[in-house]
Amino acid sequence: MTGKRIEAFRRRASDVLAPMRFRCLGCGADVFDDTGFCPRCVQRVTFNNGKTCKRCGVALDGEEDYCGNCAFEKTYFDRAYSPFVYDGLIRQAILDMKFNNLGANARVFARYLAYIAVREQLQYDVVTYAPMSAKSLKKRRYNQARLLAEEFCAILDKDALLADTVVKIRDTAPQEQLSGKERRQNLVGSYRFRQGADVKGKRVLLIDDVKTTGATVNECAKVLKSHGAAEVVALTVASRKEHIDFENKE
C-alpha cells in the first residue's frame, strides 16, 4: 500500500470502530456526526439549496436562469456546484482552512462535496483540483483545494482517480481583493497543463474551495479543455451569491 492508501484505510477503519468526532466549524464544540456543525451554529449556515444558475450553480434571487457571469462571459467548465453560500460562518471557516492552519476543515467540507456528487450522479474519470503557485504553497505549506480533493476521494473510494493536471506558473494578487473584471484579467495565462498528465477524452471533476466570479475554475477548465478533456465539472465548497457586476457587459 502507498502512504496515501494506508492513511485512507486508517480513517475508514476508525470511522467503523468508533463514532466520528469533529469540531464544530463555527464554535469548536465537539460534534459526533458528519454535519460538522453543532445545533446552534448550523442555524447560522447559508446552504446553497435555493434557485441557482443553471451553469455555475451560484444562488440567484431573480427570475433569470443564468447569473451575470455566465450570461456575459465565455465559460469553459460545463457545470459547477456548491453546497454553501460564501458568507458568515462558512466564509470564516474557509478562511481558517486557507490561512489559519485549519486544514482539517477540509475533512468536513469534503463530505458535503461528496454528497453533491452523489446527489447529482456526477460521472467523472479524473478528480483534480485548483493549483497554487510554488511561492504560495511554500508559504502556506499545503493547498486547501488538494486537501479537499484527497478527502473527497477517500470518502467515495475514488483515490485512483486523483491526478495533478494543472500547474499555476505565476503568483497572482488575492482574488477576493479584486473586482470581477480584475479577477478575470488577474488569472489570464497563470495556468498551464502539467507535463505527463492525461485528460484526453476524459470527464474531469475539478475541486476548489470558493467560487466568486468563477475565474479560477474557468481558467483551469480552459487549460483542461485545450488538452482534450471531454467535460469539466467544478465542485467548490461555497460560491458567492449573485452580484451584478456591470463591468461584465463592457
pLDDT tens readout for residues 166-220: 999 887 655 555 555 555 566 667 899 999 999 999 999 999 999 988 889 999 9
pTM: 0.85
**Do residues 26 and 13 touch, judged by C-beta distance below 8 A?**
no
The three cell numbers of residue 97 are 482552512
The three-state secondary structure class of 189 is coil
**Alpha-carbon distance 249 to 224, whole Å?**
26
The amino acid at residue 241 is K
Sequence spans of domains, the chain: 1-44, 48-249
CATH of domain 48-249: 3.40.50
Higher pLDDT, 134 or 175: 134
Higher pLDDT, 122 or 21: 122
For 37, residues 6+ apart whose C-beta sits below 8 A from its C-beta are 24, 25, 26, 31, 45
For 35, residues 6+ apart whose C-beta sits below 8 A from its C-beta are 42
**Alpha-carbon distance 209 to 177, whole Å?**
16
pLDDT tens-digit map of 33-71: 878 999 999 999 999 999 999 999 999 988 889 998 888
